[in-house]
Structure 1
């Protein structure tokens, strides 16, 4: 609408529009003209676009099927910086909006996994302009303790973290340095992480995750099929496991069909005009489940389903 502002004014003020008796004296028509001519209205529209567009860019990036967990922290940081730039002359309003963003991020969206992924992302770790907050390092260590729960498993992890952060061994070779910003983080670790084998396994496991299943099943039809009323002699836990496996098989198939040189997340020049990815018209067949008859009980499975895949309140690996 903002882009078509001048055309809207031209249309409502055109002779053809004004001379049409069905429009000329219509109260709604007059109200529309008053709104279109109102400078305060357009300033409000501009403000709405300015504060929502950066976060729409983030949503588009994390919803396109790429393993984006290593980039979500940087994307959110850039989005908040754009808000600060827009409100550079209005500190009070800037704080109001950023407090809302931080509250939503902290209460509903953030996981220690995001911090760990940012720490392990080479394009972030080796960026001289980025200094990690203490909270990010604390979250990273929480994830390490969760994925490597025993002292024996963590025996050499401190030395390996040091090797990685200091770009020693294979991490410091020319190929590794050249690929930091051009290769997906998970693939980068697979190729150049041999100097820290334990940390390499952890990094690949974390950085290969997507941030959303939206791309792969926009209307969650797989879940709906598996939990249809025809088949409820399967235990609810098993049904959720089936949904989890189905989504991960779908993700695996899609990743295998893509070239290995998957582009990393692009922080700049994001195309805001690209359409959302459409879901497949041919959902995965689940007829083999029909041998389990009867109807589901009245329990609400939505909460369990959100725990089975990556949802809004998901905590991967129990984090």
Structure 2
């Protein structure tokens, strides 16, 4: 009865989000914000009065919350200060190469969280906030647990972070080679990747030229393009005279920053090597996983992927054999798995197309 009543007041469906879904609590709060007006209309309607007769205490509690502007202000506040965290994790939780952007995204995210909290508390940024102090400690603990020397190396090999354009955006910014902690992580990577002393000395020498903008990296064009050109393309254009460092840059700058793409491969493997197809050899199954995932990636770069007939054709992921096997709520929940699908609101018409 409650769900049917809600459906009469809102065309946007409620989602049943599992705890294992990405940021399920935040996603549900965002959905509540979208349907705020519909909920308010529902609890003020005559139909709600009939439901109230069935369970007065619960109906009163729901009505009080929905009509409580302070409660909605708290929801908005939670969404505002968690939005930078959510956006950063969203950006990292993809198969796109972004390992070299993590440090910048991290610093920017922490600053944005601070701004939102201090704005809500009506404090100047140089004042003390006990709540921000707690949030900051949690973020630092998470970063300490998750960061690796490879993040340091990727940050160091991004030419943008040495450009005047990037450094002048914020006076507090420094070029990576002047950061002692990050420099230590880079040194660890160099020593592990180049056990041969000759190669190690060579890559150190090349990196010194790169960071100091000297030698083969002193060209006016290469310097002017540091702040505007994609990192891999910059190395392709201007790194040929330092082949060791260029090859390393290609490897590191082309890597995603999380293991989510590997986990999706495991999901695809379980879809292909199922109870119905349990006689596949490991080699055949691996080949099919390779083809399946790469076809999906290639298709997302085509115009047809956003056209009506083939729009988001892989929305069902690998959990269902056909779209007919997918229930409405389950299909809608899948929109939480992909950043570009989060803004897609599935209706009953969508599932029957």
TM-score normalised over the length of structure 1: 0.66
Which of 134, 156, 159 is the equivalent residue of 1:96? 134
User: How far has the Cα of 1:257 moved from its partner?
Assistant: 8.9
CA contact (8 A) 2:162 2:226 kept: no
Consecutive unaligned residues in structure 2, runs of 5 or more = 1-31, 303-311, 321-353
CA contact (8 A) 1:147 1:202 kept: no
Residue pairs, 1:1-319, within 5 angstroms = 1-14=32-45, 16-18=46-48, 20-23=49-52, 26-88=56-118, 89=123, 91-107=129-145, 109-126=146-163, 127-128=166-167, 129=170, 130-131=173-174, 132=176, 133-214=179-260, 218=264, 220-224=266-270, 250=293, 254=297, 278=315
CA contact (8 A) 1:69 1:114 kept: yes
CA contact (8 A) 2:81 2:117 kept: no
Figure out how many residues of one structure are paired with residues of the other and give that number: 259
Partner SS state of residue 2, structure 1: helix
CA distance in 1, matches of 2:243, 2:134: 45
User: How far has the Cα of 1:163 moved from its partner?
Assistant: 1.2
Consecutive unaligned residues in structure 1, runs of 5 or more = 260-274, 284-319
Residue in structure 1 matched with residue 350 of structure 2 by the alignment: none
Q: 1:219 to 1:44 in 2, by over 3 A?
A: farther
CA distance in 2, matches of 1:256, 1:172: 40
CA distance in 1, matches of 2:252, 2:200: 17
CA contact (8 A) 2:271 2:319 kept: no
Residue in structure 2 matched with residue 269 of structure 1 by the alignment: none
User: How far has the Cα of 1:188 moved from its partner?
Assistant: 2.1
CA distance in 2, matches of 1:166, 1:198: 17
Q: 1:232 to 1:106 in 2, by over 3 A?
A: farther
CA distance in 2, matches of 1:206, 1:139: 14
CA distance in 2, matches of 1:246, 1:191: 34
Q: 1:142 to 1:228 in 2, by over 3 A?
A: farther
Partner SS state of residue 194, structure 1: coil
Q: 1:170 to 1:69 in 2, by over 3 A?
A: same
Q: Deviations over 1:174-219 (max 9, x none)?
A: 5434543444322321221123222212221111111235357637
Q: 1:99 to 1:245 in 2, by over 3 A?
A: farther
CA distance in 1, matches of 2:102, 2:293: 22
Partner SS state of residue 264, structure 2: coil
CA distance in 2, matches of 1:245, 1:191: 36
Q: 1:247 to 1:143 in 2, by over 3 A?
A: farther
User: How far has the Cα of 1:26 moved from its partner?
Assistant: 3.0
CA distance in 2, matches of 1:43, 1:186: 44
Partner SS state of residue 85, structure 1: helix
CA distance in 2, matches of 1:233, 1:125: 50
Residue in structure 2 matched with residue 272 of structure 1 by the alignment: none
CA contact (8 A) 1:170 1:176 kept: no
User: How far has the Cα of 1:245 moved from its partner?
Assistant: 11
